[in-house]
Chains A and B, each alone.
Chain A
Amino acid sequence: MSTPTPKSNTLRSKRRRSALRTAAFLSPWLIGFTVFFAYPLLSTVYFSFMHYDGFKPPTWAGTRNWTYVFEHYPYFWPALRNTLWLVLVMVTLRVVFGLGVGLLITRIKTGTGVFRTLFYLPYLAPPVAATMAFAFLLNPGTGPVNSLLEGIGIPAPGWFNDPAWSKPALTLLALWGVGDLMVIFMAALLDVPKEQYEAAELDGASAWQRFRFVTLPNISPIVMFAVVTGVIQTMQYYTQPLVAGKVASGVIQGAGTLFEPGYPDRSTLTLPQLVYNLGFQRFDYGSACVVALVLFALSMAFTALLMRRRGGLIQAGD
């Protein structure tokens, strides 16, 4: 055993001090991550194998909660199908519309600020308030939208009261709040090098060709970003479909157990609503945890995709 020289001693204490300093600065999040995420996540896994109603002590259930959710729970597959529909239609339309509005705003030369603010404002409307507003605007009885449609002789749909129209109505609401994507696309479009457009124009490229061969390749990482975050948000879509269903069905407050989620006819069910339905309406905490883990797995899978596809998400640190 050799005794450490004084020099390496100071070096080691210096290192230890810097490690302590790092730990101190990170501590709020390290504690929060452990207490409010890691530990509860393990508990979620544990409860997914237990029968637990919150009153009697938990008992071992094996895989029964899992088979119940996948084979017998009547809401699981409709919720997954709705999510797929929303991913295919709502996310696609939101990205296309967001890009369109972004392109439009970069070409508007008069009153740009006013237009930009007007386009952006709906995104800020609190989701509950925006959904209530749309439930009113689209209500089949006295809603202004159907009054206008019937006024010009177009057959008016039942929107939030018709299983075939409830998701299109939610899509309309999502398109109204496209401001976040507009801002993101606007920034990306302004970053496209001007010389590339000039070169394309010299080569006689048409407007479409310039968009297809100059604009799109330059902004494709942002399109990818918008699509993947859109998919993640859609899997977690909660407030709007729930509130729309509640308002349209006329069942609002009081005992939460009264409301059958997904009105009309399960057409607005999404995965997070199942966690609420199983845990807080049926007091089947075990099965609720199964759905929570499905939600976790799906979210993580797409987040991994996002991080792999876009290293640029993280600016280089020092």
Chain B
Amino acid sequence: MTQVLDKPVESPAATPAERTARRRALLEWIAVHSLGVAAALFFTLPFVFVLLTSLMSDSQALSRDLIPDPWQWENYRRVLDTPGFLTWWRNTLLYAGLGTVLTVVSSLPVAYALAKFRFRGRNATLMLVISMMMLPPQVVVIPMYLFWAKQLDLSGTLWPLIVPMAFGDAFSIFLLRQFLTTIPNEYIDAAKVDGCGELRTLLRVVIPMARPGIAAVALFQFFYAWNDYFGPQIYASENPGAWTLSYGLESFKGAHHTDWNLTMAATLLVMAPVILVFFFAQKAFVEGVTLTGVKG
């Protein structure tokens, strides 16, 4: 449809039928793109209002003004100087970073076996993995909490959330398996002919070919931990030194009552890393979303 704009709309050789067709195409282009702009406003204006409010002075944030006057950039400094905020950052990076590494390392062999080994009960195992994917953490949280808090005395830390990630994650296993089934068997057979065992085949042949899938899984897992609210609420709430950003952000609002400007600055500081990571890894991410099984 871009050609419609590049060419002159009325060329002398055009028959009346062609002219109507072109006019219709142009009208459609205008209609579609107006709708697109309207939708874009709906999706972006909340970010814009949050950003504008985060730059207002304390008193202006309590008014109905929409544009900051003056632009108070030091609000971000004030948020970062809030006691605890940097600790929450560190804890979130620990939870998300270490959790992601453990998840990928422990899920890969499982996904590989489910994708490429032949064994009895394979489909049943896969069904079980898929059912696990759909279960919320609340289903088993009571015994899990009693186990971590009463028996191991680990409440007030993030370890009850990180340690289980060393034992495979259903969603990651499923996503990786979907990806690994697309790797042709010939590559794997060739590695075996060359004398590689299954582990060497996985490390030398499969993993290098599965890099996009692994990237998608790592991203999803990182975002999951970054966004997790329920986990830190259960295990870390009693110890502010173990809070993550998602959990601490809410308390930030509590400590600053009506300071919407500071709260919105903190909100943007929690959103920003996720959005930055997305821009750097957009392709892997979108590929992962489509891989979740809907293309089958």
Contacts and interface: CB of A to CB of B under 8 A. Distances in A.
B250 A128 contact: yes
Contacts of B295: 187, 191
Contacts of B136: 235-236, 238, 272, 295, 299
A315 interface: yes
Contact of A119 (B39, B229, B292): B39
Interface stretch (A80-88, A100-108, A162-170, A208-216): A100-108
A252 B255 CA distance: 9
Contact of A252 (B250, B275, B282): B250
A29 B165 CA distance: 10
Nearest to B113: A25
A147 B260 contact: no
Given A118-B44, A276-B138, A299-B134, A22 B275 contact: no
A31 interface: yes
Given A104-B32, A117-B282, A236-B138, A183 B185 contact: no
Interface in B219-240: 223, 226-227, 229-230, 233-234, 237
Contacts of B112: 25
Contacts of A254: 254
A272 B234 CA distance: 12
A130 B50 CA distance: 10
B64 interface: yes
SS class of chain A's interface: helix, strand, loop or mixed?
helix
Contacts of A246: 250
A180 B289 contact: yes
Interface in B82-133: 106-107, 109-110, 112-119, 122, 125-132
A312 interface: yes
Contact of B294 (A28, A176, A184): A184
Interface residues of A, number: 101
Interface string B28-61: 1100110110011011101101100100000001
B198 A21 contact: yes
A133 to B, nearest CB: 5
Interface stretch (A1-9, A71-79, A196-204, A300-308): A300-308
Interface residues of B, number: 107
A41 B275 CA distance: 36
Contacts, number: 293
A124 interface: yes
Interface of A: 18-19, 21-22, 24-26, 28-29, 31-33, 35-37, 39-41, 43-44, 47, 54, 101, 104-105, 107-110, 115, 117-122, 124-130, 132-134, 136-137, 142, 144, 147, 176, 180, 183-184, 187-188, 191, 222, 225, 232, 235-236, 238-239, 242-243, 246-247, 250, 252-254, 256, 271-272, 275-276, 279-280, 285, 288-289, 292-293, 295-296, 299-300, 302-303, 306-307, 310, 312-318
Interface of B: 1-2, 28-29, 32-33, 35-36, 39-40, 42-44, 46-47, 49-50, 53, 61-64, 66, 106-107, 109-110, 112-119, 122, 125-132, 134-136, 138-147, 150, 164, 166-168, 170, 173, 177-178, 181-182, 185, 198, 223, 226-227, 229-230, 233-234, 237, 245-247, 249-251, 253-255, 257, 260, 263-264, 267-268, 270-271, 274-275, 278, 282, 286, 289-290, 292-296
11 contacts: A21-B198, A26-B113, A28-B106, A28-B166, A35-B167, A40-B147, A124-B274, A236-B138, A247-B250, A272-B230, A279-B142
